[in-house]
Amino acid sequence: MSQVLVASNRGPVSFSLSEDGGLVMRRGGGGLVSGLAGVVGAAPDPGPPRFPGPGRGDPGVLWVCASLGDADRAAARRAPEGRLDLDGHDIGGAAVRMLDVPADTFHRAYNGVANSTLWFVHHLLFDTPRVPHFDARARRDWQSYEAYNAAFADALARDAAPGAKVAIQDYHLSLAPRMLRDRRPDLRIVHFSHTPWAPPDYYRLLPDDIGAQVLHGVLGADHAGFLTGRWAAAFLDCCERFLPGARVDRAAGTVTRAGHATRVGVHGLGVDGDALRRRAAEQDVVERARALRDQVGDRQLIVRIDRTELSKNIVRGLAAYRELLVNHPEWHGRVVHLAFAYPSRYDLSEYREYTAAVQRTAKQITDEFGTPDWDPLVLQVNDDYPRSLAAYRVADVLLVNPIRDGMNLVAKEGPVLSERGCALVLSREAGAAAELSGDALMVNPFDVSQTAETLHRALLMPRERRAERCARLAAAATALPPRRWFAGQLAALD
Ligand code: G6P
């Protein structure tokens, strides 16, 4: 029985099978894991797994997550009572329970509902005529989403000590708070959204019953947390518009329905500066930073690091770099753009097509401008965490231009690790803009020409000015470390 439980689709680690059939453990990617793994002390990229025998003491935190594939399921089956004890990997006493949800249910819930429907709505990614499209198959997917949320609610109800605090994360699990409250009214539940929340005019694209069920599900929590005031306000707007009988009190930040009040709060998430700097000082990062410096020479370096994700707006970012090279030929041979676009959600055709579009656009730029002694653009698609940290260290300009983003931790990690003081070109639609707009160079992510000119300004900015701004960005980025963010959510339940 645990006093504090965390639930999320993706856990701090996931597994793959090596050629000899062994299990290889990897750090999970994305902002949610970066934030939460810091809270429970997870190492950024752990070594091989350990499977200790049963009978160890009660872990501080139990993290319940889904098995994302066959290797995860195999790992979960090998662990005593399904609990992976990752103590040997700096998870600071946390145990991880990977739920063995049937593969088909997982696929429909994760790919069908969470990633193609809810993610698209909250990031305003709809693009007629292909999506939205709610047909019989979507209804079946929805049933799987319910079953998947129920599997989490069952596991949490089983493992939570009386009166325990349960922190349920993100849009994959929007029904779980209500389901858990029905099973265990004694628990104190927070739901936290790592994404933006759609404004009512987008939210209403969802079928009425599904839209209402999602809101009703989140309102099963005692506290609903968001990364910025903008997303919290949109949630309140949706409750008011789409939930009959809901009373929204904006001054108090509460939604009351059927006698139960949910407090809505804003909890910004930053980075743990000390831990990040320590990791970036390790040998594997140092070596990669040296290799990058050798590769780039005395040219300026524009870096971007993203999952290959539609909302990250990589194609427009590349188009802006192209426009910079067209409008300002003085940069030819004097700048290199390093774009890390790591694989993501490859089961969805939209993501596969987007990946192809990123690669096509990158090739066009290379073909158009490259010379025997200048590679204007280096696109890397294989995920390499230490290389990402190395790129932060050596960047002159960091480009973060999402169409819409809950927070975006790249915008925060970069300035913390930058050695020479990088300029940050930042989309005004990222949650991070609320905290960083004073010292970042802000852009409208749809305005490619403005982004190109802003890159130009960033490259021209005198080194001292860049460094001063970067120092302030780093201070803002570390002001809300994950521990405080998480403690704030738990404290809101007292
Ligand atoms: C975003 C979501 C997270 C998710 C991450 C990576 O940050 O808010 O919940 O884990 O993307 O996406 P993935 O589908 O690979 O888990």
- Ligand 1 centroid to 120 CA: how many Å? 13
What digits encode the pLDDT tens for the residues 153-194?
Answer: 999 999 999 999 999 999 999 999 999 999 999 999 999 999
**pLDDT of amino acid 17:** 86
Which of 16, 170, 193 for a ligand 1 pocket mutation test, highest count of atoms within 8 Å of Cβ?
170
Using the atom order of ligand 1, give the atom closest to the CA of residue 8: 9
Q: How is residue 285 written in tokens?
A: 């990062």
Mapped onto helix, strand or coil, the DSSP state of residue 474 is helix
Position 1 scores a pLDDT of: 84
Q: What is the pLDDT of residue 86?
A: 59
Q: Is 144 exposed, middle or buried (0-12, 13-18, 19+ CB in 10 A)?
A: buried
pLDDT-based confidence at residue 78 (cuts at 50, 70, 90): confident
- pLDDT at position 281 is 97
* pLDDT attached to residue 235: 98
For residue 272, pLDDT beyond 70? yes
Average pLDDT over residues 324-343: 98
The CATH homologous superfamily for domain 273-477 is Glycogen Phosphorylase B; (3.40.50.2000)
Q: Looking at residue 463, what is its pLDDT?
A: 97
Contacts of residue 347, Cβ cutoff 8 Å, sequence gap at least 6: 107, 111
Helices (H) and strands (E) in the chain, counts: 19, 18
CA of 194 to the centre of ligand 1 (A): 8
CA of 8 to the centre of ligand 1 (A): 10
The domain locations on the chain are 4-269+482-492, 273-477
Question: Which residue of 194, 403, 405 sits with most ligand 1 atoms within 8 Å of its CB, as the best mutation to test the pocket?
Answer: 194
4-269+482-492: CATH homologous superfamily?
A: Glycogen Phosphorylase B; (3.40.50.2000)
Beta bridge partners of 191: 168, 224
- Lining ligand 1 with CB less than 6 A are 10, 29-32, 170, 194-195, 344-345
Per-residue pLDDT reduced to its tens digit, 194-225: 999 999 999 999 999 999 999 999 999 999 99
Which amino acid is present at 29? Answer: G
Average the pLDDT over each of 26-35, 283-292, 414-423, 469-478 and give the range with the smallest value.
26-35
Cβ contact 415:443 at 8 Å: no
> Residue 182 is inside which H or E element, if any?
helix 176-183
Task: Specify whether the CB–CB gap between 169 and 192 falls below 8 A.
Answer: yes
pTM for the structure as a whole: 0.94
pLDDT tens sequence across 303-316: 999 999 999 999 99
- Nearest protein CA to atom 1 of ligand 1, as residue: 30
3-state helix, strand, coil in the chain (%, to 5): 45, 20, 35
Cα 269 to averaged position of ligand 1 atoms, centre (Å): 15
Tokens, residue 9? 């689709």
Distance (Å, whole) CA 433 – CA 436: 5
User: Across all residues in the chain, what is the average pLDDT?
Assistant: 91
Substitution site in 32, 115, 400 for ligand 1 pocket (most atoms within 8 Å of beta carbon) = 32
**From CA 287, how far away is CA 382, in angstroms rounded?**
18
Give dist(CA 175, CA 411) in Å, integer.
31
Looking from the CA of 485 toward its CB, the CA atoms found within 13 Å total 29
6 Cα–ligand 1 center, Å = 15
pLDDT higher than 80, residue 227: yes
Atom of ligand 1 nearest to the CA of 194: 8
The pLDDT of residue 14 is 84
CA nearest 248: which of 227, 224, 226? 224
DSSP 8-state code for residue 430: B
Domains 4-269+482-492 and 273-477 belong to one CATH topology: yes
**Pairing relation of β-strands 247-249 and 254-257?**
antiparallel
